[in-house]
Chain A
Amino acid sequence: MGRTQRLLAGLLLVFVSSSWGGASEANEAAQTVPTTTFSGVAVWVRDETPVVVRIDSGQTPLGAYYWTTVEGPNERVTLCWRNRCRTELAAEQVVLEADWDVRHQSVPALSRSLRELAQWYEVTPLPEQSWQGHPANGWLLQPRDAWRYPQRWWLDAATGVTLERTIFDDAMTPLERFAFVRFERHAQADLTEVRQAWSSLGQSDRVDFRLHTVAPDAMPWRLDDLPPGFALRASGWRQGPSGSRVWQWALSDGAASVSLFVEQETAPHQAAEAETDSQGDANSEGAQPESAQRWGATLIVRRNRNGWLQTAVGEVPAATLHRLLDGMRYVDE
């Protein structure tokens, strides 16, 4: 297969891959059901700990299912059935009343075509390779600016499912890697098995984890300065751990994603995670104590801005998160 053919095939596959999820609620079934089903074992390497994950994604006559099994000290099972996700931890079960969307399944996915990505990344096809016996197409995405990290993607040639994604830092040192080490396409769990799995999780604490969609213009803050290539994919609010409303903006350039969160500060937050002396208007300049945590390629940066906690999370350089946070402007609820 020639390079052009591979590129065209890849474009098609990425399109298929990116079309798994939709945003409208009009046709839930059509949008939450993956176009392909698969089963496999993947390894996440973040920081120092490889995490082995069993992943199954499938479709039954009653809806889509998806589950992951994480092995390790925090071993857990997460099972999503239709648009509910249930997580079993060692001593408790939690039902996340989430709007499950296959775009957010654990397998990373490109959400833009290579043609679009080529605006922000130099896209280099990699020599065709067999991955666990499956022909795979690979691309190296090298950023054209400083707002994103280099990435390497390997997609199953037949389904477009991501078989491997590695995020590098500027020195091409891997920050994190997701890779299927066993992959079977068109695999479906038995419906009875899925039902048993769902019911076997037993009694659960339920947490409302839905993103209540809100139009960008109706959000209390505006994003005035998006780094090139990053576009808003969703906005709304969730109920936060403290019960307060947490506003969220989800952005992506197609390969890297960022989430911005804003919430009114609460006392526990003040004591445990942030401090501020500044008062007054939310937009006023002043000391903005900042803290950060990194996990693999994911960086969390938090600022206190006059009674508001701003949190940025993303697989991007710190400068990108800073730019986004700097560009936030308070309007009003």
Chain B
Amino acid sequence: MDRLNGNEEVLSAWFDDEYAEPATDLDLEAILRDPNTRSTWGTYALIGAALRGEPLATLSDGFVAAVLQRIAEPGSEAPPQRELARLADAAGGDGTTPVTAANDAWWRWSAVAATLVAVVVTGVLALQSPREAGVRVAEREMALRAESVAFAPAAMGGQRRLPTLPMGVRSVVVAADAGVQPVRFTSAPFYMLAHNPAQPMGGVTVRALATPPRVSTNAR
């Protein structure tokens, strides 16, 4: 199942700190020229920078531009530049200038949020290909990100959460077969919940279940 190409192997090794040779501009260029690894690299580099509290601008402008260009290519998902710019703006930047307050917790979380946009847009693209090394790296980065998130469930009397992460939850409507009508079922939450009760369903809430019928209200 090893479908890695040479660049992806290098990429994986880099992020696993197993790459024996120093990364050179030639290596970077090779990766950026490879459409299969470019978005993967960009995602992981941005994630790592954000989680380390480094200003995003520590990445070379050319590199970031290359990543963003890749994201904006036809066929890609919604370009994240606006989101990145908005987040950078919220964090004190304008989307093109370095985030200078990286040591401040709030700014750092905003950077993480910005990173998440990259995960959403480019990381998923990477995750959608069967590149085991990339997947492994993604999981590691996911772990870093998730561990960095301050979990404070309201029900547990925890602290206030971080600024809301800009995750555009949406389900994808597809045709299951020729002639099938793609539909967003208004009652889908019921079936999803009944299919697997208590399953976390980001993007699908059980709000519909709060509508009649009510067996009783204000139950304790």
Residues of A within 8 A of B (CB): 41-55, 66-80, 85, 87-89, 92, 94-98, 100-101, 104-106, 132, 140, 164, 166, 168, 171-174, 177, 179, 181-182, 193, 196-201, 203-209, 211, 238-243, 246, 248, 250, 257, 259, 261, 269, 272-274, 289-295, 298-302, 311, 313-314, 318, 321-322
Contact = CB atoms under 8 A, between A and B. Distances in A.
B200 interface: yes
Interface stretch (B12-20, B32-40, B59-67, B182-190): B182-190
Contacts of B184: 293
Contact of B219 (A193, A204, A269): A204
Interface residues of B, number: 81
B209 A181 contact: no
B216 interface: yes
Nearest to A208: B215
A240 B176 contact: no
B210 A51 contact: no
Interface of B: 1, 77, 116, 119-121, 123-124, 127-130, 135, 139, 142-143, 145-147, 149, 151, 153-157, 161, 164-165, 167-177, 179-188, 190-220
Q: Which of A48, A49, A52, A78 has the most CB of B within 10 A?
A: A48
Nearest to A291: B183
Contact of B210 (A73, A207, A301, A322): A207
Contact of B220 (A88, A172, A203, A298): A203
A197 B188 contact: no
B176 A69 contact: no
Given A48-B121, A193-B156, A272 B193 contact: no
Majority DSSP secondary structure for residues of B touching A = loop
B152 to A, nearest CB: 9
Contacts of B204: 74, 295
Contact of B171 (A198, A207, A293): A293
24 contacts: A47-B124, A47-B172, A72-B169, A73-B168, A76-B205, A87-B206, A94-B206, A94-B209, A97-B215, A98-B198, A104-B199, A182-B143, A204-B218, A206-B214, A206-B216, A208-B215, A209-B197, A243-B212, A246-B194, A273-B183, A290-B176, A291-B183, A300-B185, A300-B188
B142 A49 contact: no
Nearest to A243: B213
B202 A72 contact: yes
Contacts of B165: 71-73
A209 B196 CA distance: 12
Given A44-B202, A49-B168, A273-B183, A77 B155 contact: yes
A52 B164 CA distance: 13
Contact of A100 (B143, B183, B198): B198
B11 to A, nearest CB: 18
A172 B143 CA distance: 23
Contact of B196 (A47, A257, A294, A299): A257
Given A45-B124, A76-B205, A293-B183, A200 B213 contact: no
A80 B198 contact: yes
The winner among B151, B154, B183, B187 for most chain A CB atoms within 10 A is B187
A173 B132 CA distance: 11
A146 to B, nearest CB: 14
A293 B182 contact: yes
A272 B192 CA distance: 18
Nearest to B196: A104
Contact of B191 (A43, A166, A173, A311): A311
A94 B210 contact: yes
Given A196-B157, A241-B208, A132 B143 contact: yes
Given A257-B196, A291-B185, A294-B174, A313 B191 contact: yes
B167 A49 contact: yes
Contacts of A259: 191, 194-195
Q: Interface centre among B142, B143, B153, by most A CB within 10 Å?
A: B153
